[in-house]
Structure 1
Amino acid sequence: MQLSKATIADIQNNAIEKPEAALFLLPEKVLQFGTGVLLRGLCDYYIDKANRQGVFNGRVVVVKSTTQGSTDAFAQQDNLYTHIIRGVKDGNTVEQTIINAAVSRVLAASEEWDSILACAANKAMQLIISNTTEVGITFIPEHIMEGVPGSYPGKLLRWLYERYQCFDGSSDAGMIIIPTELLTDNAKKLRDILLQLASHNRLGEAFIQWLQNANSFCNSLVDRIVPGKASTEDTGYTDDLAIMSEVYSLWAIESSDGKVIERLSFAQTDTGVVVAPDIYKFRELKLRLLNGTHTLSCGLAVLAGFATVKEAMADKAFRKYVETVMLQEIAPAVTGSAITAEEANVFGMQVLDRFANPFIEHQWLSITLQYSSKMLMRNLPVLQQYYSKFGTAPRHIALGFAAYCCFMKSVQQEDGKYSGTVNGRTYAINDDKASLLHIHWQKSSPEAAVKSILSDEKLWHQNLDDLPGFTAAVTQYCALINQHGARQLIQNRL
């Protein structure tokens, strides 16, 4: 039995949360660029939850921008999909299955552009959201009135211009625009690109003023692990669009505008949606405590022989390392006027639950992708803040840097790619700086290689050897990893 409106009544599993018929009659209020699992598992989850409580009362028109794949699965299932939520919260296992009815239509830009533009005439439309990857928010000088624009900003600008014309430039027709791409100040970047593109297309000063003043561009941050397609084998029906996510979810939206807050009424129904004048602390907590801890731990985990995050977190000694580096070194470094110690600790405990999620297979090796740039962006600022506050080398962060150095010791393959070896196993190194690290490891001794790596301003934009005691700590841990192995070092609790 295939999931659809017609078959909902035949689903006998009472544990599945099914939509009431009234939800299908709600007006379309949201234009969403992207069919991906993150949008469906986070933003559309919040909208569907609010609709069920009679709060937001609006559905989503999804724009499929790419030419890859088709919209057939959405059409066959009347745009319904199963959302399975599994994970750990406050130490307890949580399982929930929902049939999401937030999406009303999925329109392919390449084939249904006129239908997408027709949505601009819908007075009920209020909100535009997107997740087109970071590359999607890029200025491409194109003529947006000629066929289907190629870029996401081009498509969005063409749609907004259509709305401007449909409502004769009325300020009441302005939209709330919330990109969820993982870029700092993502809405500001998108707005600036739209203004540049509007000027390039000579759309007129009146439209540019409407674009700037009638529309609200809100920076946002999203955080939820949605690995991808899920199985509905145990539900009694087939769903080609089923997804699974962790329990934790966050959509932080930056705005202090009363009208925006009123329209984003779905925020009332879930504490995971936060509308605040400044989302800096949410971004900083995620980047440092979650992403930074992942990055400091990934090389160490691979060297210790752990394949997945949940496997490593089941090991008491490794979990202790993760907990200590996050809560005793990263958290104290980032707390201050913007982030309290309590906020950092609460977020950190949530991260530990998320890392230990037994339902998600998160590969450590995949986390090492572009390891060098992640260390630079996520952990170097924390290292600097730690030294500024305490003046000494943070031991667990130093071990994370040592694991990075050891992980990046490589041989070059015939195809020009680089790989490392641990305990007789070979692993791929996918990093733009792999060749540079390979050169550093040609030094006369491991000590010289580590000093050379930490001194390289091309890697760190500064000389880390200048930090008192840091090179010595990293060098010592590298020697211990080489002598005893990462697993033994962790077991000995450093």
Structure 2
Amino acid sequence: MKNIRELYRREQHPVRVLQIGEGNFLRAFVDYAIDAANEENGFDGNVAIVMPRARKNERFASQDNLYTVCLRGQKDGKPYKENRVIRCIDSVLGAYDDYDAFMKLAELDTLRFVVSNTTEAGIVYEDGDRFDDCPPKTFPAKLTKFLFARYRHFHGAADKGLVMLPVELIDHNGETLKRCVLQYAALWQLEDGFQSWLDEACIFASTLVDRIVAGYPKDQAAAYEAELGYTDCLLDQGEPFGLWVIGDPRVRDMLPISTDKLQVEFTEDIEKFKEQKVRILNGAHTSMVLGAYLAGFDYVGQCMKDKAVRTQLEQSVFGEIVPTVHLPEEKAKAFAAAVFERFENPFVNHALLSISLNSLSKWRARVLPTLKDSFEKNGRLPKWLTYSLAALLAFYHTTEQGDGCLIGHRGAGTYEIHDDADKLEQIAKWAGGPDAEYIHEIMSQTGWWGEDLTKIAGLEQAVAGHFARIAKIGAKAHIEELGAQE
């Protein structure tokens, strides 16, 4: 079988993007978006990748920097498959082995953007980094040296500033990155003009990204290659849905890469888009999975095919969650519809137990704010979000302890409950007492929820009622009877 480089050629475009990181997500998200924009929008830009830790790039070199993104999922109500050969990667360098070539990129007149994904722990400041390290250890220190080299080469020209677009999964990632860069500029006593240039000529935009990327399909690689007709050791698998929210409207005209392949939003209020994702996507997961598991289901796809659980999701998402999102209703509804298609993805088996990890903190972050907003707006407790807390308490209701977990029971089988050890210890103790005391103790833990949930009018009584019905008739029957209620 032929190698991918025998059948395809890299496209020739000016290097406009410096990408710090070579991982699966960046390749199936950012590089995919740029490749599609070159084709559909005339973006006319290539990417130079710098590997911040890895020292060699044999896999990329063996394929002339070509690779395939294979998207599998649900789109417009139908199974969706797309195989896109990414041809916009100009070069792949190691920050250590190719340090001089990396720094030389700072002199490129066409360079405009810096994209990074160095993990959640990547945007940090360490005062042990020195200016004469080649390169310094941390990503922000590397970036500071790179930006200073560009500032010097172009004599502080205002039109040679760069736009930083970090996609690391931390809040305010752009602001955090800029703060670290300024700390290094101060630590290394770089000239005042450089700090002014960072403020006036450069943009550090916070971003939010959303696409599930599975990476190299190890168990299915042979089948993929047979379908493609070539070998590709850099195959990258993901879902069709893609959303990139960039928290600075100034970038809109600079970066015309939004297409029907991957949507890009530019906004001054990125927090509203984060709220949308947390409440609708994550909140739907967290409010559904524990009760669904107790009802006998193991995977999200199974839940989507069941009439009762599907009714729960439709009523809770569109009736209870979407109205609390602080974005235009049509946007929130469109996002919710896309979430349903993602849950229906026939190519992914998303296990409910994997979603169940650390459900206490997840429920607090993903469901509680929505429940409170819905209650305040409508003057009544939302039935499904209220039920979801009862389902959580039922899922955690056990005195049996395992190795670093609790052991719950579903029918004749068992399952592991994973959460903070101190919380699990307390739960096991309370589970040995009366149900009312068990419910009251957990709901009144201010340190767990940020407040005493028993103080929310009617919530404790409603949760106790759901908990009792689950115990009496089972989770599946209770879901069915709730769905039939107005």
How many Å separate the matches in 1 of 2:312 and 2:119? 32
Residue among 419, 423, 427 paired with 1:440: 427
After superposing the two structures, state which structure 1 stretch, 137-146 or 385-394, moved more: 137-146
TM-score after normalising by structure 1: 0.90
Aligned to 1:473: 462
Aligned to 1:18: none
How many Å separate the matches in 1 of 2:482 and 2:74? 26
**Matching of residues 319-468 of structure 1 within 5 Å:** 319-334=310-325, 338-410=326-398, 413=401, 415-432=403-420, 434-443=421-430, 444-468=433-457
Please state how far the C-alpha of 1:471 moved relative to its aligned partner: 1.0
**Matching of residues 239-278 of structure 1 within 5 Å:** 239-257=232-250, 260-267=251-258, 272-278=263-269
Please state how far the C-alpha of 1:417 moved relative to its aligned partner: 3.7
Amino acid at match of 1:151: T
Contact 1:142 1:154 in 2 (8 A): no
How many Å separate the matches in 2 of 1:429 and 1:2? 48
Percent identity of equivalent pairs: 35
Contact 2:41 2:256 in 1 (8 A): no
**Matching of residues 12-411 of structure 1 within 5 Å:** 21=9, 23-53=10-40, 55-67=42-54, 71-145=57-131, 146-230=133-217, 231=221, 232=224, 233-257=226-250, 260-267=251-258, 272-334=263-325, 338-410=326-398
Amino acid at match of 2:294: L
Please state how far the C-alpha of 1:210 moved relative to its aligned partner: 1.2
Amino acid at match of 1:226: V
Question: Cα 1:341–1:414, aligned 2, differ >3 Å: closer, same or farther?
Answer: closer
Amino acid at match of 1:390: N
Amino acid at match of 1:125: L
How many Å separate the matches in 1 of 2:146 and 2:293? 47
Deviation string, structure 1 residues 145-201 (Cα, Å, up to 9, x no partner): 223222221222121122122222222221011111223322112111211222122
Contact 2:364 2:449 in 1 (8 A): yes
How many Å separate the matches in 2 of 1:41 and 1:194? 27
In the alignment, structure 1 segments of 5+ residues that lack a partner are 9-20
Question: Cα 1:28–1:297, aligned 2, differ >3 Å: closer, same or farther?
Answer: same
Deviation string, structure 1 residues 309-335 (Cα, Å, up to 9, x no partner): 11221112111111211111111233x
How many Å separate the matches in 2 of 1:425 and 1:138? 45
How many Å separate the matches in 2 of 1:420 and 1:151? 43
3-state secondary structure, aligned to 1:25: coil
Aligned to 1:3: 3
Please state how far the C-alpha of 1:488 moved relative to its aligned partner: 3.1
Aligned to 1:17: none
After superposing the two structures, state which structure 1 stretch, 143-152 or 353-362, moved more: 143-152
RMSD (Å), alpha carbons: 2.2
Contact 2:129 2:137 in 1 (8 A): no
Deviation string, structure 1 residues 198-253 (Cα, Å, up to 9, x no partner): 21222232211111211011121111122222332322222121122222111111
3-state secondary structure, aligned to 1:136: coil
**Runs of 4 or more off by more than 6 Å in structure 1?**
none
Contact 2:40 2:259 in 1 (8 A): no
Please state how far the C-alpha of 1:454 moved relative to its aligned partner: 0.9
Contact 1:56 1:266 in 2 (8 A): yes
Question: Cα 1:46–1:306, aligned 2, differ >3 Å: closer, same or farther?
Answer: same
In the alignment, structure 2 segments of 5+ residues that lack a partner are none
Amino acid at match of 1:353: E
After superposing the two structures, state which structure 1 stretch, 417-426 or 365-374, moved more: 417-426
How many Å separate the matches in 1 of 2:213 and 2:318? 25
Question: Cα 1:106–1:364, aligned 2, differ >3 Å: closer, same or farther?
Answer: farther
How many Å separate the matches in 2 of 1:168 and 1:62? 25
TM-score after normalising by structure 2: 0.91
After superposing the two structures, state which structure 1 stretch, 141-150 or 404-413, moved more: 404-413
Deviation string, structure 1 residues 254-312 (Cα, Å, up to 9, x no partner): 2232xx33320223675611223333332221111111111112222332232221122
Contact 2:408 2:416 in 1 (8 A): yes
